[in-house]
Structure 1
Amino acid sequence: MSRRRIGFWYRLAAVIAKPPLLLLFKRDWRGMENIPADGGFITAINHNSYLDMFSYGHFQYNTGRVPRFLAKAALFKTPGIGILLKGTGQIPVYRESTNAFGAFRAAVAAVERGECVAFYPEGTLTRDPGMWPMTAKTGVARAAMLTKAPVIPVAQWGANLAMPPYAKENKFSFFPRKTLQVLAGPPVDLDRFYEQEATPEVLKEATEAIMAAITALLEELRDEKAPDNTYDLREIRAQQRRKAAEEGTK
């Protein structure tokens, strides 16, 4: 999809979403020149607030290349929201069902049609105590290896200061106005993976390369160094299950 083909539904969504974003937040946008002008591509973004989809979406809308998000299927049944999601071409994700792989196939098809598909590689809001990216799932690397499309890493910060992940309503803080920072980097160099078989090990290594690029951009935004060890949600949960099992045997 070129810069000129945004479409009615995306423009309508922008009319609804942009005024409150402009009113409530300041912006610090960098790296728009790294968003491809033409052809299919993938963006890989860190996720630290329910609000950051709008922050990133606003940023990319202004580049002229609108993203297709992978969104929970239940949202498509929500009155009003569902119409906008369908109209703007977002991709429903049916978790824990026989249709779960359909979202991945739809994402790959969209990239091959020349569109942008936005991946949150972590799969959920970060649980890292310092709000750094967690260990990611391999879907974004798998899509990159199938399409060989550019993967643009994107880091964002600021939405989490207004709407922290998993915070209760009384912890929301919109004033004083926060700055929504978004930084897009150059395509991640994945050439060394393209001629390899997509084994779990290769996909893991490619995913780590993508996440390293995102983390480096976030370090630039935050002007601080990320921890040496990436927070691994699956390992943390496994440890919790082992601990619960051990306590249950006492």
Structure 2
Amino acid sequence: MTLRERKLQEKRGWAFSLGVAIVKPTLLATTTHEWLDTHKLPESGGYVVVLNHVSHLDPLTAAHLLYDHGRIPRYLAKSGLFKNRWLGGFLRSAGQIPVERMSKNAVGAFAAAVTAVREGKVVVVYPEGTLTRDRDLWPMAGKSGAARIALETGCPVIPVGQWGAHQILYPYAKKPDLFPRKRIRMRVGDPVELGDLSAQPLGPQVISQATDRIMAALTGLVEDLRGEKAPAVRYDMRQHGDPLTGNPRSTRRNKKDEA
């Protein structure tokens, strides 16, 4: 049996079955893929997958990877998507987890993610927290969510570098470029070593170290895929005064007009 023929570890449910029926044929028609080192994806048990974020479409290409390797991904999705009655019902039925960014209610998403991992599910986290703002699309400074879930549960953190989805839909572009078919490249890395940190009392310094290790592993995979070296210092939105959500170019333009 090849890795791409792994059987699912759980029932898909109606929502995920419908999503697969729509999304997978669309991806096969509009993309080709090169998946590297996929044997490093655990076949069973709960774990966290972390990916760099270069397009609004790359959650779909990541789901394609995991689904074809026998796992159903659970995403930490922004809560606004759940406000629509039908879309929200669909996402909840598919097992996705709403998160209210920059809100005290985000703790509920953390608890849900921890529970999912402990139940043996795969939780996908984009540790940058949003589409990369780096002008060359390198991974930015990371947020602590993936590290906190891993330190709380002791689960593996599997980094997956990905490149190519931005050719279909560039960050904040309004229209996709579907043809000719675009090549999606993904490389799965070794689990991020966090065992020594898990043995220490949980605090800001430990969480920061874990986050740095996760981002270093992820950036290294993207460097391999691109055949280039990432900047020595990762882009930090707070230091550059970027809005934490939404299209930063629109915000900058509005500020310029007001001036």
CA deviations 1:56-113 (Å, max 9, x no partner) are 1111110111110011122123354323211110001123444221001100111011
Amino acid in the other structure paired with 2:152 = L
Match of 1:59 in 2: 65
Question: Does residue 228 in structure 1 map to residue 214 in structure 2?
Answer: no
Counterpart pick for 2:127 among 121, 136, 152: 121
More divergent stretch after superposition (38-47 vs 4-13): 4-13
How does the TM-score come out when normalised to structure 1?
0.89
Instruction: Provide the C-alpha distance between the structure 2 equivalents of 1:97 and 1:159, rounded to a whole number of angstroms.
Output: 29
Q: Residue 154 and residue 81 in structure 1: after superposition, are their counterparts in 2 closer, same or farther (change >3 A)?
A: same
How far did 1:14 drift? 0.5
Which residue identity does 2:59 align to in structure 1?
M
AA partner of residue 206 (structure 2) = V
Cα gap change, 1:195 to 1:228, in 2 (>3 Å): same
Query: Partners of 2:102 and 2:137 in 1: how far apart?
Result: 27
Q: Distance in 1 between matches of 2:156 and 2:102?
A: 29
Cα RMSD, aligned residues only: 1.6
Determine whether 1:164 maps to 2:170.
Answer: yes
Is the contact between residue 8 and residue 67 of structure 2 (CA under 8 Å) also seen in structure 1? no
Which of 153, 174, 179 aligns to 1:175? It is: 179
- On the 8 A contact 2:12/2:72 being kept in 1, the answer is no
The answer to whether the 8 Å contact 1:152/1:185 transfers is yes
Q: Which residue of 2 aligns with 1:25?
A: 31
Number of equivalences: 235
Letter of the structure 1 residue corresponding to residue 56 of structure 2: Y
Give unmatched runs, 5+ long, in structure 1.
239-250
Equivalent in the alignment of 1:12: 18
Using the size of structure 2 for normalisation, the TM-score is: 0.86
| Equivalence for 1:243 | none
1:89 aligns with 2:95: yes
Are residues 129 and 66 of structure 1, via their aligned partners in 2, closer, same or farther at CA, if it must alter by over 3 Å?
same
SS at match of 1:14: helix
Answer whether contact 1:188 1:213 (CA < 8 A) is retained.
yes
| Equivalent AA in structure 2 for residue 204 of structure 1 | S
Work out which of the residue numbers 62, 67, 71 in structure 1 matches 2:77.
71
Q: Aligned partner of 1:126: which letter?
A: T
Q: Please list the CA deviations of residues 133-172 of structure 1 after superposition, one character each: whole Å capped at 9, or x if unmatched.
A: 0001111111111101000001111111111112233xx3
